[in-house]
Homo-oligomer: A and B are copies of this chain.
């Protein structure tokens, strides 16, 4: 059902030097599903992460934050389980996330703070720690699969996703060729506030930790923080960016500021990949049949632009109209009206659906014909553009439609 999304082709994915990937079927929730992922990073690797702002954030999110601080980003491994979110599990859940790290650390001869844990799945149920730990040897044995690993990794982190999400890019700059590969997952409970459900991007450049962190926040703001499926900010959202440094032979080559000759090309590639992985989550949103870009322009501030874009992107009425390919476009105006801009002058509002001018000066455009709206609504990819006539700020939020399948998927998720 995914809206214009295809599974990544194995030959399009690139191995990243300085890391290994392994997966296993640990039977966390259901037997036979690949539900455990371990990534190992060579010494000298640097990681930066952003996490959900949900106050009920999951135990692994707490541990990730702690370990990133303690290790100053010198992360050597990460472990992901699906099937159980280890959220709403209190002190016991926290201990289990820590024990997971301790076990993996001792198997790899690391200190626990060099390991990051991630969980995704059902909330409020105890993590089956023993099954997770029992699965680790299989994941380590399977490690080092080169580029094939990325596809398996993408599969291992799927929950209600219908397709794995992975991407790779080669960046040639300054006589060097860097590899950047990444995976993401999503599907439901998607309105990231800091980062998406789970995304990991790894490159083999050497990037100074503080710069990596700054890049991560910039990249995140333009990608994972601009998607929404259902407006529910998950307890487990995490986005991790790792640089292994394997392609940099000396400390002189470390990229430590934006003026470094390789910086612009690398960062641009990271932004592109993050957008691609974020948009893949929306295209594979639960029950999605349409991919909608909501662009708000002429806003007085970035916050205001986002406020209006999210009001449209979250409206169940707007989303069901897209599902039905019904140009019931008054629903979009209605959402603009309740977005919370108290001094909005509706007479200055313009609305476009792709190239079709629907609303001018707050009312139906005289030249607007229902069949033009209908034509665009039938497309799989649709752009909604709203101009507020208040200033120069703008933003784009990506979302999907709201279908029968969303209800089916979420009514049946645990059964």
Contact = CB atoms under 8 A, between A and B. Distances in A.
Given A123-B331, A231-B314, A363-B90, A337 B56 contact: yes
Interface string A63-96: 0000000000000000000000101111111000
A126 B370 CA distance: 13
Interface in A119-134: 122-126
Interface of A: 53-57, 85, 87-93, 122-126, 188-189, 191, 193, 230-235, 314-317, 320-321, 323-324, 326, 328-331, 333-338, 341-342, 344, 346-347, 349, 359, 361-364, 402-404, 406-408, 410-415
Nearest to A234: B334
A3 to B, nearest CB: 16
A146 B415 CA distance: 53
A317 B55 contact: no
A53 B404 CA distance: 31
Contact of A55 (B126, B326, B346): B346
B412 A324 contact: yes
Given A54-B338, A87-B334, A90-B361, 17 more contacts: A55-B346, A88-B330, A88-B359, A88-B364, A123-B330, A124-B328, A124-B329, A124-B359, A188-B317, A231-B316, A232-B317, A235-B330, A235-B337, A320-B407, A320-B411, A326-B415, A404-B407
A347 B91 CA distance: 9
